[in-house]
Amino acid sequence: MDCPDDIAGALLTIDLSALVANYRRLAARVAPADLAAVVKADAYGLGAAEIVPALVSAGCRHFFVAHLGEALAICNHVPRGSALYVLNGLVAGAEATCAGADIVPVLNSLGQAHRWRDLALRRGRPLPAVVQVDSGMSRLGLSAADAATLAADLDFRARVPLRAVMSHLACADEPGRPANARQHAQFAELAALFPGAPRSLANSGGCLLGAAFRGQIARAGIALYGSDPAEDLAEPFRPVVRLDARVIQLRTVPAGTGVGYGLDWIAPVERRLATLAIGYADGLPRSLMGRGAAWFGGVRLPIVGRVSMDSMTVDVSDLAPGALSEGDLVEIIGANQRVDDLAAAAGTISYEILTSLGARFGRTYVPATCSRPVLEAIA
């Protein structure tokens, strides 16, 4: 579905070496814990088929997706000896499919745990799983009472080796929130019901909260993809995504001219405008109207009028006349405007921007720098 670069309306460039650098940085931060990669939603929209092999090359051995279907789609990229986990749990009836593909379900309820245990009993072989407990987010996972019931289930303990006991933080992006310490304490209490199981609590933000939060497996998503999991980091994570949109028309309009659907923006004085081949069908939020911008040559080009489905218009009057031509590319995400900046302008979060990135882009993957094979080739 991706478009060849020379005819695409916009180009998405995904820097796998930046991805690998972000992975290595966070892995060093959480060591000796393992760093798992969260690659749900097609690796946050960046393409799991490319992202997973790059992370494997960086040493990642644990991968989390949300749905069993996502796991089945990428299990060929996950090498033997690595683990692939499904966060959203075990859909009734999917037990055999999950077990047949060696995918590890995250068991979120007693019912799910019992169905997995029963399959292990029927097959006469152990079936590994992760147990999730609710430590305070009230989204997924066993309650304290259900966790105690499961921990006392001797068949479950004998038949279901636990790859981890996990929980998820509601406020990891806000280090000052007391909820983090409360969740940590509740998690420690519930995890103790499953002695010997590795513990997994931290997402990207949690990795930065302190050693106590890291457990034996940390689960990072957004930081790997180049967005900062908390504000005011001394060193930002390396940008992974660059997005450039093509200029498809230029015009000069006199004062009083309306622009776009509803004619919501009226040129106050004569203005030079550029229409770009990118719109909300490509994942650019309509809320960017009047707040967002594109960039060219270090100059900010404010979005004027409503964002359309397939195009939007920017004011290019601050550029020298003739600086921009039809067919040129302007920056939507890049050196001047990080994904976090675009998200802030749209009143949303980087996760939503990344996972909305459209299917019509030309896509280029910059390979992870891999110097050794090149040197061997020369020698």
Ligand X SMILES: *Cc1c(COP(=O)(O)O)cnc(C)c1O
Q: What is the nearest approach in angstroms of ligand X to the Cβ of residue 229?
A: 6
351 catalytic, yes or no? no
Given the complex with ligand X, which of 43 and 259 has the nearer CB atom?
A: 43
- DSSP-derived pairing of the beta strands 129-132 and 104-107: parallel
The response to whether 139 counts as a known ligand-binding position is yes
Q: What is the nearest approach in angstroms of ligand X to the Cβ of residue 345?
A: 21
Q: What is the nearest approach in angstroms of ligand X to the Cβ of residue 200?
A: 8
Say what the alpha-carbon torsion angle 68, 73, 76, 78 is, to the nearest 10 degrees. Answer: -60
Does residue 363 interact with ligand X by CB under 6 A? no
H helices present in the chain, as ranges: 16-30, 40-44, 48-57, 68-74, 95-100, 110-123, 144-151, 154-159, 178-191, 204-207, 339-346, 350-356, 371-378
Contact segment (CB under 6 A) with ligand X among 2-10, 72-80, 214-222, 239-247 equals 214-222
β-sheet bridge partners, residue 275: 249, 313
Residue number, nearest CB to ligand X: 221
40 catalytic, yes or no? yes
Q: Which of residues 114-143 bind ligand X (CB under 6 A)?
A: none
DSSP string, 333-372: ESSSS-HHHHHHHHTS-HHHHHHH--TTSEEEEEPPP-HH
Asked if 282 and 315 touch (Cβ cutoff 8 Å), the reply is no
The response to whether 306 counts as a known ligand-binding position is no
Given the complex with ligand X, which of 44 and 265 has the nearer CB atom?
A: 44
Contact segment (CB under 6 A) with ligand X among 55-63, 68-76, 221-229, 360-368 equals 221-229
Tell me the two tokens of residue 86.
């499904």
Does residue 219 interact with ligand X by CB under 6 A? yes
Three-state SS at 83? strand
Given the complex with ligand X, which of 40 and 272 has the nearer CB atom?
A: 40
Tracing tokens 């790859």 back to the chain, one arrives at 163
Given the complex with ligand X, which of 117 and 219 has the nearer CB atom?
A: 219
Burial of 92 (0-12, 13-18, 19+ CB in 10 A): exposed
Among residues 40, 44, 225, 280, the one annotated as catalytic is 40
Given the complex with ligand X, which of 6 and 231 has the nearer CB atom?
A: 231
Q: What is the nearest approach in angstroms of ligand X to the Cβ of residue 205?
A: 6
Given the complex with ligand X, which of 227 and 313 has the nearer CB atom?
A: 227
Any residues with CB less than 8 A from the CB of 341 and at least 6 apart, and which? none
- DSSP character at residue 263: G
Which of 222, 259, 312, 345 contacts ligand X by CB under 6 A? 222
Q: Under rule CB under 6 A, how many of the chain's residues touch ligand X?
A: 12
DSSP string, 219-259: EE-TTTTT--SSSS-SSPPPP-EEEEEEEEEEEEE-TT-EE
Does residue 87 interact with ligand X by CB under 6 A? yes
Distance CA 324, CA 344 (A): 27
Nearest to 365, CA basis, from 51, 22, 44, 3: 51
Given the complex with ligand X, which of 191 and 274 has the nearer CB atom?
A: 191
Distance CA 22, CA 251 (A): 42
Q: What is the nearest approach in angstroms of ligand X to the Cβ of residue 87?
A: 5
Nearest to 134, CA basis, from 165, 162, 103, 112: 165
Could you give the string, one character per residue 146-175, with x where binding to ligand X holds by CB under 6 A and - elsewhere? ----------------------x-------
Q: Which of residues 17-76 bind ligand X (CB under 6 A)?
A: 38, 40
Could you give the string, one character per residue 189-208, with x where binding to ligand X holds by CB under 6 A and - elsewhere? --------------xxx---
Q: What is the nearest approach in angstroms of ligand X to the Cβ of residue 204?
A: 3
Q: What is the nearest approach in angstroms of ligand X to the Cβ of residue 228?
A: 11
**For residue 293, what are the CA distances in angstroms to 11, 145, 347?**
17, 51, 14
Which residues participate in the annotated binding site?
Answer: 139, 309
Which residues participate in the annotated binding site for substrate?
Answer: 139, 309
| Residues binding ligand X (CB under 6 A) | 38, 40, 87, 168, 203-205, 219-222, 229
Catalytic residues: 40, 261
